[in-house]
């Protein structure tokens, strides 16, 4: 479960330059912004916010770099221990109720390591942060979803194993793709409507944040996670 992002963040200057050790050479040299700060964040001209977001206990070092909302990445060196260490991500705010949306889709393209413990996932929140919807598009190593399995469902163009749980602060609905994918498009709205209309797990919630990133448990020695493409569209 990725941690919610609230007002505790302080905007870092767009001109801030952090250490680039551990990056692949091309993205690091081209980055318009980077940060190794725990809560480092940057807002792009097209309205996306990028967060370094190192929130778990026992974390190591991590640096986020950004060229644009669709080209950014993270170098992370977290120890080989249990527990989520971070969720570096890009966020787009929707601010619409489920029934007022005609469409909500997102496309992604990532390059992820073959080692380490992590998932590549969407983290979708209602505006009150009472509900969290996670869509895992790929995952590796010793990771698992919160809660109990609710079976499988084919929604939004993909087949998912569905989990329902509660972390003590909010309810969590996790959808894990039955086959890993490094690129694709997800039709998010049918998933939200299925939770509301088919399962009755929530009402006509107003969707706030649509986040996409890497929930990292361990990446010993330093691993690169690269977003080659990402966008959110709604109407």
Q: What is the pLDDT of residues 67-111, one digit of tens each?
A: 999 999 999 999 999 999 999 999 999 999 999 999 999 999 999
Look at residue 32 in the predicted model and tell me its pLDDT: 96
Q: So where are the chain's domains? A: 86-234
CA angle 216, 137, 186 (to 5 degrees): 135
The alpha-helical segments, DSSP class H, found in 125-187 are none
- Where residue 119 falls among pLDDT bands split at 50, 70, 90? very high
Q: Return all residues near 68 (Cβ < 8 A) that are at least 6 apart.
A: 32, 44, 46
Check whether 129 has a pLDDT greater than 70.
yes
| Choice between 124 and 14, residue whose per-residue pLDDT is larger | 124
Q: Could you tell me which residues are beta bridge partners of residue 117? A: 218
Kindly state the tokens that stand for 227. 């977003």
Partners of 231 in the β-ladder: 107
39 token code pair: 């809560």
- Confidence class for position 1, pLDDT limits 50, 70, 90: low
Cα angle 25, 28, 34 (rounded to 5 degrees) comes to 160
Kindly state the average pLDDT of the residues 12-25: 35
The confidence score (pLDDT) of residue 2 equals 58
| pLDDT at residue 29 greater than cutoff 90 | no
Asked if pLDDT for residue 169 goes beyond 90, the answer is: yes
Contact residues for 206 (Cβ-Cβ < 8 A; gap 6+)? 95, 96, 97, 98, 126, 127, 128
pLDDT above 50 (res 132): yes
The average confidence (pLDDT) of the chain is 90
Mean pLDDT throughout 131-142? 98
pLDDT, tens digit, for every residue of 32-80? Answer: 999 999 999 999 999 999 999 999 999 999 999 999 999 999 999 999 9
**Which pLDDT score, from 0 to 100, does residue 17 have?**
34
Average pLDDT over residues 144-169: 97
CATH topology for 86-234 is Jelly Rolls (2.60.120)
Type and span of the H or E element at 192: helix 188-193
The pTM of this model reads 0.88
């Amino acid at each position: 479960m990725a941690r919610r992002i609230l007002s505790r963040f302080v905007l870092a200057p767009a001109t801030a330059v952090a250490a680039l050790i551990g990056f692949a050479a091309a993205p690091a040299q081209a980055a318009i912004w980077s940060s190794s700060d725990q809560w480092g964040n940057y807002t792009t001209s097209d309205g996306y916010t990028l967060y370094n977001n190192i929130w778990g206990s026992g974390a190591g070092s991590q640096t986020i770099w950004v060229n644009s909302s669709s080209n950014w990445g993270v170098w992370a060196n977290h120890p080989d221990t249990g527990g989520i260490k971070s969720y570096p991500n890009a966020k787009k705010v929707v601010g619409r109720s489920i029934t007022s949306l005609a469409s909500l889709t997102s496309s992604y393209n990532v390059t992820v390591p073959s080692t380490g413990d992590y998932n590549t996932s969407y983290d979708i929140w209602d505006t009150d942060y009472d509900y969290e919807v996670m869509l895992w598009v790929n995952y590796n190593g010793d990771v698992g979803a919160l809660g109990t399995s609710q079976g499988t469902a084919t929604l939004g163009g993909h087949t998912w194993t569905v989990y329902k749980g509660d972390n003590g602060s909010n309810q969590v609905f996790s959808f894990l793709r039955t086959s890993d994918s490094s690129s694709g498009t997800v039709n998010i709205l049918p998933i939200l409507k299925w939770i509301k209309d088919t399962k009755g797990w929530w009402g006509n919630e107003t969707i706030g944040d649509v986040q996409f990133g890497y929930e990292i448990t361990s990446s010993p020695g330093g691993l690169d996670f690269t977003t080659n493409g990402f966008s959110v569209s709604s109407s």
